[in-house]
Amino acid sequence: MSEPGSLRDLAYATLRQRIVEVALKPGERLVERDLAAELNVSRIPLREALRMLAAEGLVVIVPGKGALVSPFTPADVRDLFDVREVLESLAARLAAARASAESVERLEKRLEECRAATADADVTRIAAANAAFHAEIIDLADNPLLTSLMSPLAARTEWLFRLTSSRDPAEQCSEHEELFALIAAGDADGAAASAYAHIAAGRAPSTALASTWSEPTVDPEAVAKRRRRRT
Amino acid sequence: MSEPGSLRDLAYATLRQRIVEVALKPGERLVERDLAAELNVSRIPLREALRMLAAEGLVVIVPGKGALVSPFTPADVRDLFDVREVLESLAARLAAARASAESVERLEKRLEECRAATADADVTRIAAANAAFHAEIIDLADNPLLTSLMSPLAARTEWLFRLTSSRDPAEQCSEHEELFALIAAGDADGAAASAYAHIAAGRAPSTALASTWSEPTVDPEAVAKRRRRRT
DNA sequence: CCCTCCTTAGTGGTATACCGTTAAATCTGG
DNA sequence: CCAGATTTAACGGTATACCACTAAGGAGGG
C-alpha cells in the first residue's frame, strides 16, 4: 500500500482505513464536499479516491446521486467466502508449484510471526500476522491478475474481522503450519486443498455473527436520495 | 454496460472499445489532454474514465507519469487462464446449486443462440453468443462479488479473442451443451468440472498464439517517460 | 565534434467556479 | 390542519485555469 504523497492517495488511504475500522458505517452517506473539506483536499482528488474505493467494492456510487459505504449483509459474507475459497486455493496451488528455496524462506518468516503472535495472544498482532501470511502466499503465486483480484477481498476480509471476532487463533495457526509444509514440499494439489479447507473453516463462525447484525437491508438507491439541511 | 449519459461513462465506453478492438495498441501512451480534446470532454471525466479502466486492468497508470494501454504478454495470458479456470468453475457450481426452472430456461435460450450462430459459421456472432452464455452463468451464480470480479476478465478475454482467433466453434458449442445439461440437472460438482475443462481447453491455443506476438516486453515505466514534441 | 548547461513546453496534479438536477423547506389555499 | 404548489439550496458533474515537475532540444564552451 504505497502512498506517493499525492492527495488522491492520501484521501484513499484515509477513507479506506475509516471504513475498515467502521468509523464510517455500512450504508453511511459520503458527501464529496464535506469529506473534501475535512481532509483538506479539493473535490477532484476526493472523487478519484471514491472511484478507487468503489472499484474495490468498499463504496457504492449511485450514478448522479452520490457515494455511500457499501452495505455488508450476510449474503455478502457468503459470497465473499465462496470467492475466497477458490482464489486462496488457487494462490496456494500456484505458490506450491512455483516454490523456490528463497520463497519458502520468506513464507516461513511470516509463519514464525504467526506463531509468535499466537503465543502472545495479542489479537491485533495475530490478525496482522495472519493477513501477512496469506498476502505472502498470494505474492508467491506470482500472478499479478490474481493479486489485483485479491486486494478488494482483503479489504473486505479485514473489515469482516473487525466487525466479527476471529475464530480460535491456535487452530488457525496450526492450519497455517500445514499449509506451509505443503507449499514448501511443492505439493500443489495438497496445498490447494488445505487452503480451501482453511478458508472454509472460517465460514460458519463469520456467517453466524453476520446474521446477528442484520442491518435493515440498506438500499443504496434510497440512502442516496436523502439530503441534509443546514444544521 | 449501462451508460447514464454522463461524459465520464461515455469516455470510459469509448476508450474501452478502442482498447478491446486494438485501435489502441498495448503499450500505447494515453495522453490526457489529447484524448480529452478528441472526445470533446474536459480532463476531469477523462481522468475518471482512465481510473475506471485502470481498476479493470485495461490501462496502467504510472503515478505521476501518465497512463498507457496495458501490455498483454504471454505471462498475462497464462495468468488470465489460471484465474478464469477457477472462477468460471465456481460460477458453474453456484449456478448448478441454485438452478431453478426459470433460470435454466434463460440459460437454454443462450445455448440455442450458440447453436444457431455455430451453424451459421458467423465468427462475430459465435463470439457474442459464447460470451453471452458465459455471462448468463455468472449471472445465475447470483454472487455480486463474483460478477464484479469477472468483468475485468471478460474485457481481457474479449481482447484476447480479437488478438488471437478462437478455437473450433463446434467443439466449444458441444462443451456448452454438456455444461448446460449439468447445470440444469443441478449437478454442482459436475458443472464445476465441466466448466474448468472448458476453459482449460482454450489455454493451449491462446498461449501458442500469444507467444507469437512477443512484444518487446513493453516496460510501463520506460514508455511513460517518453514525451512528444511539437508535430 | 561532443559534452554540459539552460531554456522551454508538454504533462499530470490540483483548486476554484459554475451549472443542472432534485430533495427539502416554505408557502399557499382549501 | 393538511395537501399541493413554489422556492431554496444541497449535491454531483463539468469546465477552466494554475502549478510543479521533467525531459526534449538547443546554446555555448571545451
At residue A99, does pLDDT exceed 90?
A: yes
Residues paired with B66 in a beta bridge? B62
* Cross-chain Cβ contact B83/A149 below 8 Å: yes
List pLDDT tens digits, range B80-101.
999 999 999 999 999 999 999 9
List pLDDT tens digits, range A122-133.
888 888 899 999
- The answer to whether residue A83 neighbours chain B at the CB level (below 8 Å) is yes
What's the confidence (pLDDT) of residue B86? Answer: 98
What's the confidence (pLDDT) of residue A158? Answer: 84
Q: Which one of B9, B86, B146 makes the best mutation probe of the A interface by having the most chain A beta carbons within 10 Å? A: B86
What's the confidence (pLDDT) of residue A160? Answer: 83
At residue B178, does pLDDT exceed 90?
A: yes
> What residues contact A66, with CB distance under 8 A and at least 6 apart?
A29, A30, A31, A32, A224
Cell of B63: 503515478
A7 CB and strand C closer than 7 A: yes
- HEC-encoded secondary structure of chain A: CCCCCCHHHHHHHHHHHHHHCCCCCCCCEECHHHHHHHHCCCHHHHHHHHHHHHHHCCEEEECCCEEEECCCCHHHHHHHHHHHHHHHHHHHHHHHHCCCHHHHHHHHHHHHHHHHHHHHCCHHHHHHHHHHHHHHHHHHHCCHHHHHHHHHHHHHHHHHHHHCCCCCHHHHHHHHHHHHHHHHCCCHHHHHHHHHHHHHHCHHHHHHHHHHHCCCCCCHHHHHHCCCCCC
* Cross-chain Cβ contact A52/B51 below 8 Å: yes
> What residues contact A196, with CB distance under 8 A and at least 6 apart?
A85, A86, A88, A89
At residue B63, does pLDDT exceed 90?
A: no
- The answer to whether residue B86 neighbours chain A at the CB level (below 8 Å) is yes
- pLDDT, mean of residues A115-121: 92
What's the confidence (pLDDT) of residue A216? Answer: 57
Using a 7 Å cut-off to protein CB atoms, list the covered nucleotides of chain D: 9-17, 22-25
What's the confidence (pLDDT) of residue B159? Answer: 81
Residues of A (121-180) placing their beta carbon closer than 7 angstroms to any atom of strand D are none
d(CA A75, CA A210): 9
* Cross-chain Cβ contact B82/A90 below 8 Å: yes
> What residues contact A38, with CB distance under 8 A and at least 6 apart?
none
**Residue of B6, B63, B145 lying closest to A79 (CB–CB):** B145
At residue A225, does pLDDT exceed 70?
A: no
What's the confidence (pLDDT) of residue B160? Answer: 83
User: Could you tell me which residue, B64 or B68, shows the higher pLDDT?
Assistant: B68
What's the confidence (pLDDT) of residue B5? Answer: 73
Helix ranges (DSSP H) in chain B = 7-20, 32-39, 43-56, 74-97, 101-120, 123-141, 144-163, 169-184, 188-213, 220-225
Residues of A (45-64) placing their beta carbon closer than 7 angstroms to any atom of strand C are 45, 64
What's the confidence (pLDDT) of residue B115? Answer: 93
Q: What angle do CA B123, B125, B129 make, to 5 degrees?
A: 115
- pLDDT, mean of residues A208-218: 68
- Give B222's pLDDT tier (boundaries 50, 70, 90): low
CA distance B75 to chain A (A): 9
- The answer to whether residue B39 neighbours chain A at the CB level (below 8 Å) is no
DSSP state of B193: H
Chain B residue numbers touching A76 (CB-CB < 8 A): 144-145
Q: Which of B13, B89, B28 is nearest to B223 (CA)?
A: B28
At residue B189, does pLDDT exceed 60?
A: yes
**Residue of B48, B89, B149 lying closest to A149 (CB–CB):** B149
Instruction: Extract long-range pairs of B177-181: CB within 8 Å, 24+ residues apart.
Output: B177/B111, B179/B92, B179/B137, B180/B107, B180/B108, B180/B111
- pLDDT, mean of residues A88-100: 97
Place of cell 426452472: B101
What's the confidence (pLDDT) of residue A115? Answer: 94
| Whether the model pTM is above 0.95 | no
B231 CB and strand D closer than 7 A: no
User: Could you tell me which residue, B151 or A225, shows the higher pLDDT?
Assistant: B151
What's the confidence (pLDDT) of residue B161? Answer: 78
Task: Give the CA A223 to C1' D2 distance in Å.
Answer: 27
d(CA A229, CA A202): 44
- pLDDT, mean of residues B68-87: 93
- Give B228's pLDDT tier (boundaries 50, 70, 90): low
